[in-house]
Amino acid sequence: MPLTSKDLEQKLAELDQKSKIFFESLAINSKRERLEELKKQLDLPEIWSDTAKMAALNKEKRVLESNLELYSKLESDIEELALAREIFDEDPTIEGEAEAMLAQIDELVEKIEFQKMLGGKTDLMNAIVSINAGAGGRESQDWAVMLSRMYARWCERKGYGLEVIDKNTGDDATAIKNITFIAEGDYAYGYLKAEVGIHRLVRISPFDANKRRHTSFASVFVTPEIDDSIEIEIDEKDLKIDTYRSGGAGGQHVNKTDSAIRITHIPTGIVVQCQNDRSQHKNKATAMKILKSRLYEFELRKKQEESSEIEKQKMGIDFGSQIRSYVLHPYKMVKDHRTDFETGNADAVLDGEPILDKFMEDYLLKEGETNENH
Q: What is the 3-state secondary structure (H, E, C) of 149-163?
A: HHHHHHHHHHCCEEE
Please indicate, yes or no, if residue 351 is contained in any of the structural domains. yes
Residues 15 and 101 occupy one common structural domain: yes
Residues 221 and 286 occupy one common structural domain: no
Per-residue confidence (pLDDT) for residue 228, from 0 to 100? 62
Per-residue confidence (pLDDT) for residue 211, from 0 to 100? 84
Q: What is the mean pLDDT of residues 166-182?
A: 90
Please indicate, yes or no, if residue 23 is contained in any of the structural domains. yes
Q: What tens digit of pLDDT does each residue of 205-253 get?
A: 888 878 889 999 999 999 998 866 667 888 999 999 999 887 644 433 4
Q: Structural domain of residue 286, as residue ranges?
A: 236-303
Q: What tens digit of pLDDT does each residue of 57-104 get?
A: 888 898 899 889 999 999 999 999 999 888 888 887 888 898 999 999
Domain boundary among 244, 273, 303: 303
Residues 173 and 242 occupy one common structural domain: no
Residues 224 and 319 occupy one common structural domain: yes
Q: Tell me phi and psi for residue 5, to 5 degrees.
A: -60, -40
Per-residue confidence (pLDDT) for residue 135, from 0 to 100? 83
Amino acid at the residue 239: L
Residue 279 predicted with pLDDT over 50: yes
Please indicate, yes or no, if residue 297 is contained in any of the structural domains. yes
Q: What is the mean pLDDT of residues 269-291?
A: 89
**Residue 280: C-alpha distances to residues 168, 247, 275, 286, 294 (Å):** 18, 14, 8, 10, 21
Angle subtended by helix axes 51-88 and 5-25, to nearest 10 = 160
Please indicate, yes or no, if residue 246 is contained in any of the structural domains. yes
Residues 291 and 337 occupy one common structural domain: no
Please indicate, yes or no, if residue 335 is contained in any of the structural domains. yes
What SS3 class is residue 258? coil
Q: List 198's β-bridge partners, or say none.
A: 219, 322
**Which stretches does DSSP call E strand in the chain?**
127-133, 161-169, 176-184, 197-204, 213-224, 239-244, 260-265, 270-274, 322-327, 333-336, 342-343
Residues 166 and 21 occupy one common structural domain: no
Q: Any idea what DSSP says for residue 341?
A: -
Q: What tens digit of pLDDT does each residue of 145-160 get?
A: 999 999 999 999 999 9
Residues 246 and 293 occupy one common structural domain: yes
Residues 32 and 152 occupy one common structural domain: no
Residue 9 near residue 85 (C-beta atoms within 8 A): yes
Domain boundary among 258, 273, 303: 303
The Cα 346–Cα 146 span in angstroms is 12
Residue 168 predicted with pLDDT over 70: yes
Q: Which residue has the higher pLDDT, 257 or 84?
A: 84
What CATH number corresponds to the domain at position 63? 1.20.58.410
The Cα 204–Cα 78 span in angstroms is 53
Q: Which residue has the higher pLDDT, 149 or 114?
A: 149
Q: How far apart are the first and last CA of the chain?
A: 38
Residues 214 and 145 occupy one common structural domain: yes
Q: Which residues of 224-261 are buried (b: 16+ CB within 10 A; e: fewer)?
A: bbbbeeeeeeeeeeeeeeeeeebeeeeeeeeeeeebbb
Residue 365 predicted with pLDDT over 90: no
What CATH number corresponds to the domain at position 287? 3.30.160.20
Residues 152 and 202 occupy one common structural domain: yes
The tally of domains found in the chain comes to: 3
Residue 356 predicted with pLDDT over 90: yes
Percentages (nearest 5) of helix, strand, coil residues in the chain: 50, 20, 30
Percentage of residues of the chain with pLDDT beyond 90: 55
Please indicate, yes or no, if residue 180 is contained in any of the structural domains. yes
Classify residue 342 as left (phi > 0), alpha (psi -120 to 50) or beta: beta
Q: Which residue has the higher pLDDT, 246 or 275?
A: 275
CA triple 243-223-53, angle to 5 deg: 85
Residues 60 and 190 occupy one common structural domain: no
Write down the mean pLDDT value for the chain: 87
Please indicate, yes or no, if residue 344 is contained in any of the structural domains. yes
Per-residue confidence (pLDDT) for residue 311, from 0 to 100? 46
The Cα 216–Cα 318 span in angstroms is 8
Domain boundary among 70, 87, 117: 117
Amino acid at the residue 371: N
Residues 76 and 211 occupy one common structural domain: no
Please indicate, yes or no, if residue 101 is contained in any of the structural domains. yes
